[in-house]
Amino acid sequence: MGIKFYENSRIFKLDTPKSTYMIGIVDEENFIGHIYYGRKVIDADLSYMMRLHGSSDVPTKNSRDRVTFMDSMPMEYPTHGVGDFRESCLSVKDHAGHSACSLSYISHRIYHGKQKLPGLPATFAREDECTTLELICEDKALQLQVTLVYNVFEKLDAITRSVKIYNSSKNPIYLTKVLSACLDMDNRDYDMITLYGLWSRERMINRRRITDGKQLISSLRGVSSHQEQPFMAILDKNADEDHGEVFALNLVYSGNFMAQAEITQFTMLRAVIGINPVDFCWKLDSEESFTSPEAVMVYSNEGIGGMTRTFHDLYRNHLIRGQYKDKKRPILINNWEATYFDFDTDKLLSIAREASKLGIEMLVMDDGWFGYRNDDNTSLGDWVVNESKIKGGLKHLVDEVNKLGMKFGIWFEPEMISPDSDLYRTHPDWAIQIPGRNPALARNQLVLDISRKEVRDAVYDSMYKILSEANIEYVKWDMNRPLTDIAGASLDSDTQGEFYHRYVLGLYEMQERLVSDFPHILLENCSSGGGRFDPGMLYYSPQIWSSDNTDAIDRLRIQEGTAMIYPLSAMGAHVADCPSHSNGRVTPFETRGYVSLAGTFGYELDITKIPEEDRNMIPKQVAMYHKYNDLVRTGDYYRIASYQMNHEYDCYEVVSKDKKEALVTYIQVSGRPNYRTRRIRLKGLKEDAIYRIEETGEELSGGALMYAGINIENMWGDYLGKLIHIVEI
């Protein structure tokens, strides 16, 4: 059992294999104090960490200095308006218009397993995999019950948190801010890592010192966004890939969020994460509940790499669901970069015919098959097959593809509506817009108000019809613009602040329906590339399209940032055309294959037009995928060198869980003739085991491979790549 309650000291101790998290109930007023989070300790009481100096500093003994206490005590879930001037997690507006809130511990529950969060994605675990602590707290004046939930994983250094709020008063209470987690820590001169970006450059790694004041990352785009990830790692300033302490927060949510690190006046560090409070206001009527999204906390004392491997294990085993959870995915070919909107049945079948001969397993028909959509100006919402393009109908096309021995997948953008569409002409009010204002267009489209059930039902029904019409085994769910002009037609003036969150709940409901009604379908989420690559989406789709940037070299950076949190099995990655449609770069076909191998693997090019020698390489790449994908999907990921940092080469390794096999990918980004060889040191092997390097037949111990390393030779030229496969003998 990972959770212990010490009754005399009123301390809760949460233990994972290598970390301890400690909570204390303080003073007669029952404040919920944060005592410790860090490397595992055997002690039952570290309450000296709270610096309360006996009991003289607590409000019941020294009410004269209550504010000093409130503003310095390390809190588990700080509230607004009663003396803690640091960032709060909870603030309200009561029926009198007051915003203060204050929590006292009432009781607790400890149990095996983990409950679902209503309507929200969350990690899951069996009773023997996880223990839960629920701290039931109350604001007596407001008659508001707040339950802080902690789920402690038995075999992973991960604790997940969420918050349930229940209004037991007779009046509505407006929740103006509900964050999911707070971490009050001593400021030990930490750095922070966040992942920032933009379209086509998602999840760039940003490491910087945490300095005085507040360092905020957030999204107000209605999606988690290309620009910031709902993720923050706080790490020792000397921590690197393999050493040092790292404390990471990741929010299982796909909408507006905030994550913030703040150095407070007494040089403490407060980190918080949750739904962005900007434009958020939830009306909680009497006897109603609200549940926050789940925040994941990961601890590592093995540097960034240790954090990464914990996230990968947690998400692979306790977040991703469905029949493809632990399965190899079909190698797909997507027609987007091959044809854009200019395709018909014949064109798609010509691609499928060629692809099937080379071992590709699925054809995905991207944007442009419905309504009158021959460019991106029309028809979103009209999910009716355009038979002038898809001649003979969808079933005919799918049957023909199936006859070639291939599966068939299809693209949708269910949340959108084009002003030039039958749907808009019938239901203009279904588009999100503020009455009296012209809503802003992006890619010439508007967003459907999927917070409304009738809108969700109508869109879902039209998707359902298409998916039932033919043997469709994959869906790419795209979303190509942010939300603006927020107004909920079904919401009153005092509930407009619920819109963004209701939109996300609507999205989750639709995807839950899709995966329940069509459990055999492989769902891939996408948002203008990787604009909604977050743990919330992973709960519904085991893979997410990483970026519209398909250039192999730019992808190295995008995939490095993505793989810092998310498993390789989830990273949509394709071999694309050259010169790259993203940046004009020409890279060897072979290298493009190596880079895509680190993700789901597939193709995004006109296979009927690429050079003969590239086409001839495909069966070899297909074989390589089949040979290595089990290892890549399930193994431990180690970063050996980062092209983002060294600007010359990239190198990463996947080691099987039993450490009997490893695959190293090396990409020489800029050829340097003055280097005859480059030394690479492997990681994660058994020191005393002997491994054979498949390519050279050399036999070396794990120790030699890790500490002496191996030489990468004959890499004269830019953009060359190499795989090194080692197996224990």
Choosing from 548, 577, 606, 650, the catalytic residue is 548
Strands (E), 7-103: 11-15, 19-26, 31-39, 90-93
Choosing from 478, 534, 554, 577, the catalytic residue is 478
Pairwise CA distance, residues 462 & 422, whole Å: 13
Q: Are strands 11-15 and 19-26 parallel, antiparallel or unpaired?
A: antiparallel
Q: How many CB atoms sit inside 10 A of residue 173's CB?
A: 25
- Nearest approach, Cβ of residue 530 and ligand DGJ (Å): 8
Considering beta carbons, is residue 462 or 480 the nearer one to ligand DGJ? 480
Pairwise CA distance, residues 553 & 724, whole Å: 19
Considering beta carbons, is residue 153 or 545 the nearer one to ligand DGJ? 545
Write down the residue that tokens 């760039």 correspond to: 204
Q: Which residue is nearest to ligand DGJ (CB)?
A: 367
For residue 194, with 0-12 CB atoms within 10 Å meaning exposed, 13-18 middle and 19 or more buried, which class applies? buried
- Nearest approach, Cβ of residue 529 and ligand DGJ (Å): 4
- Nearest approach, Cβ of residue 588 and ligand DGJ (Å): 23
- Nearest approach, Cβ of residue 269 and ligand DGJ (Å): 37
Q: Is 367 a catalytic residue?
A: no
Site string for ligand DGJ, 302-341 (x = CB under 6 A): ----------------------------------x-----
**C-alpha angle 219-223-224 in degrees, rounded to nearest 5:** 60
Q: Please give the single-letter amino acid code of residue 554.
A: D
Site string for ligand DGJ, 347-386 (x = CB under 6 A): -------------------xx-------------------
- Nearest approach, Cβ of residue 366 and ligand DGJ (Å): 5
Two structure tokens written together for 117 = 């969060």
- Nearest approach, Cβ of residue 351 and ligand DGJ (Å): 16
From 84, 478, 606, 636, residue interacting with ligand DGJ (rule: CB under 6 A)? 478
Nearest alpha carbon to residue 351 among 624, 604, 622: 604
Query: Can residue 480 be called a binding residue for ligand DGJ (CB under 6 A)?
Result: yes
Q: How many CB atoms sit inside 10 A of residue 703's CB?
A: 14
Q: Is 478 a catalytic residue?
A: yes
Two structure tokens written together for 562 = 């993505």
Q: What residues from 505 to 564 belong to the interface with ligand DGJ (CB under 6 A)?
A: 526, 528-529, 545, 548
Considering beta carbons, is residue 529 or 599 the nearer one to ligand DGJ? 529
Strands (E), 225-379: 231-236, 246-252, 257-263, 268-275, 282-284, 289-291, 294-300, 332-334, 362-365
Contact in structure between 273 and 232 (CB atoms under 8 Å): yes
Binding residues with ligand DGJ: total (CB under 6 A): 11
**C-alpha angle 526-528-533 in degrees, rounded to nearest 5:** 45
Pairwise CA distance, residues 696 & 526, whole Å: 40
Considering beta carbons, is residue 280 or 336 the nearer one to ligand DGJ? 336
Write down the residue that tokens 């692979």 correspond to: 316
Contact in structure between 135 and 103 (CB atoms under 8 Å): no
- Nearest approach, Cβ of residue 580 and ligand DGJ (Å): 14
Pairwise CA distance, residues 34 & 29, whole Å: 15
Q: What is the secondary structure of 554-570 as a DSSP string? A: HHHHHHHHHHTTS-GGG
DSSP 714: -
Considering beta carbons, is residue 356 or 480 the nearer one to ligand DGJ? 480
- Nearest approach, Cβ of residue 595 and ligand DGJ (Å): 17
From 231, 311, 411, 594, residue interacting with ligand DGJ (rule: CB under 6 A)? 411
Considering beta carbons, is residue 312 or 481 the nearer one to ligand DGJ? 481
Q: Enumerate helices (H) and strands (E) in the chain, giving the number of each.
A: 14, 39
Considering beta carbons, is residue 183 or 526 the nearer one to ligand DGJ? 526
Considering beta carbons, is residue 22 or 385 the nearer one to ligand DGJ? 385
Give the residue numbers annotated as catalytic, written as ranges: 478, 548
Residues binding ligand DGJ (CB under 6 A): 336, 366-367, 411, 478, 480, 526, 528-529, 545, 548
